[in-house]
Amino acid sequence: MKRISFLFGASLAAASLGASAATYIHAGRLITATDTQVMSQATVVVENNRIVDVRRGFIEAGDNDQLVDLSDSTLMPGLMDMHTHISSQQGPGAYMDRFTLNEADYSFKAVHYAGKTLNAGFTTIRNLGDSYNETVALRKAIEKGLVQGPRVYTAAKSIATTGGHADPTNGRAKVLMGDPGPQEGVVNGIAEAREAVRQRYKDGADLIKITATGGVLSVAKSGLNPQFMTDELEAIVNTAKDYDMKVAVHAHGKEGMMRAIKAGVHSIEHGTYMDDDVIALMKKHGTYYVPTVLAGAWVAEKAEIDGFFPELVRPKAAEIGPLIQSTFARAYKAGVNIAFGTDSGVSAHGDNGEEFKLMTDAGMPAIEAIRAATFHGAKLLGVDDQLGTVEKGKLADLVAVKGNPLDDISLMTRVSFVMKDGQIIKMQ
């Protein structure tokens, strides 16, 4: 038996694991995420990229096996962030990037941010919008082992209406606007809505992202107004269904949410002005809510800094940002399905774990916040047969923190062990 502890570096551990028949992980506490129970002193056995056994107690490893000692830690499924923008990040001057950066620039940023995200314990992400379909290339590179990062499920370019939140030409001088269409993610009418979905399929996207209302950070006046007609939303959802693609919906205002939920979308992102009518409709349809509380808090903070945002954006950030946490609290209390999402790329990549504290501050128990980032993330993606819980037969995506995050949720910002697909990525 070869013992691996936190005294060894991750690269040494990963290299030595390659020759082993199995890896035995001794966990001081185990959150399987199948329910709210926590198992004390458990052993998880991994062979190749699968969990082959989960047992109570510290089971002795065989002579040719590896032992990973996490007896001072809490082990749980790999974390899942259902709302990221992995190839960009807000900051001073970020609004100039679309004029100065090329596809290759965004691609290299994506590689860098993907590494930070994985090291923060997030082994799976949904990417909800990029600039050049560069996250499709990132997903392929990660799958081939060319770069290190989380599993990526990407919507590629978001779909908007003319002047809508994801219209890439908002804020430009007229001479630079051009007339973007479905290929660029701008649609008007049923035919173009269908074409845009089919283009995303052709581009290699895994799902569809639409901006059903105005938004905070776009250089456009309204952050709330509905921006798709009902027939356009139905065309998108029905076409996506034909291609086995789910639909995620950016929405702040009530009317845009109501239209989207009735059309059959799978998740509402942000949901700032969700009221009792919206909540009832989401529960009726089983629609997931991805709150992105961290993004709301972050934009509200930066709105206080002169010059950080364009003047058209600043009042939207100041008004809308602070409301998301209270909306989340109401939705959770009412029993809406909730999956963890941060909108990282607004806030910094690698800081994803800060969302947990904001969720618990709003009334969600720590164990449920962790399940939102594991069990429910997998449910929303439709991959709960492979990911999201620590169970025999599941893919070996596992993370750990030293101590007990149910006593101190801030530990989720200090992930000390990361295993993805059976390979140790990080061990401290």
Query: Per-residue pLDDT for the chain (428 aa), expressed as one digit of tens each?
Result: 666 654 444 444 444 444 458 999 999 999 999 999 999 999 999 999 999 999 999 999 999 999 999 999 999 999 999 999 999 998 877 777 877 899 999 999 999 999 999 999 999 999 999 999 999 999 999 999 999 999 999 999 999 999 888 777 776 777 676 778 899 989 999 999 999 999 999 999 999 999 999 877 766 666 789 999 999 999 999 999 999 999 999 999 999 999 999 999 999 999 999 999 999 999 999 999 999 999 999 888 888 888 888 888 888 788 888 899 999 999 999 999 999 999 999 999 999 999 999 999 999 999 999 999 999 999 999 999 999 999 999 999 999 999 999 999 999 999 999 999 999 999 99
pLDDT at residue number 309: 81
What are the residue ranges of CATH 2.30.40.10 in the chain?
A: 2-77+390-427
Reference 397, options 38, 22, 20, 49; nearest CA is: 49
Q: What is the pTM of this model?
A: 0.93
State the number of CA atoms in the 13 A half-sphere of 169 facing the CB: 15
* CATH class label, 79-381: alpha beta
Task: Provide the angle, in degrees to the nearest 10, between the axes of the packed helices 276-285 and 324-334.
Answer: 50
Ramachandran bin of 270, using left for φ above 0, alpha for ψ from -120 to 50, beta for the remaining angles:
left
Helices (H), 144-218: 174-177, 190-203
pLDDT at residue number 14: 44
Ramachandran bin of 266, using left for φ above 0, alpha for ψ from -120 to 50, beta for the remaining angles:
alpha
Q: Are residues 233 and 192 in contact, defined by beta-carbon separation less than 8 angstroms?
A: no
pLDDT at residue number 11: 43
pLDDT at residue number 219: 65
Whole-angstrom distance, CA of residue 205 vs CA of residue 207: 6
The two tokens of residue 156 are 């590629």
Question: At 410, is the secondary structure helix, strand, or coil?
Answer: helix
The two tokens of residue 103 are 């596809």
State the number of CA atoms in the 13 A half-sphere of 159 facing the CB: 34
pLDDT at residue number 2: 67
pLDDT at residue number 221: 67
pLDDT at residue number 20: 57
CA distances from 98 to 101, 130, 168, 303 (A): 6, 11, 9, 21
Task: Provide the angle, in degrees to the nearest 10, between the axes of the packed helices 293-302 and 324-334.
Answer: 160
Token pair 């774990």 is at which residue?
353
**H/E element holding 29?**
strand 23-30
What are the residue ranges of CATH 3.20.20.140 in the chain?
A: 79-381
Token pair 């942000």 is at which residue?
270
How long a stretch of residues is the chain? 428
Residue 328 CA, distance from chain mean position: 16
Task: Provide the angle, in degrees to the nearest 10, between the axes of the packed helices 134-143 and 103-119.
Answer: 50
CATH architecture designation of domain 2-77+390-427: Roll (2.30)
- Other CB atoms within 10 A of residue 240 CB: 24
pLDDT at residue number 13: 45
Would strands 247-251 and 267-270 be described as parallel, antiparallel, or unpaired?
parallel
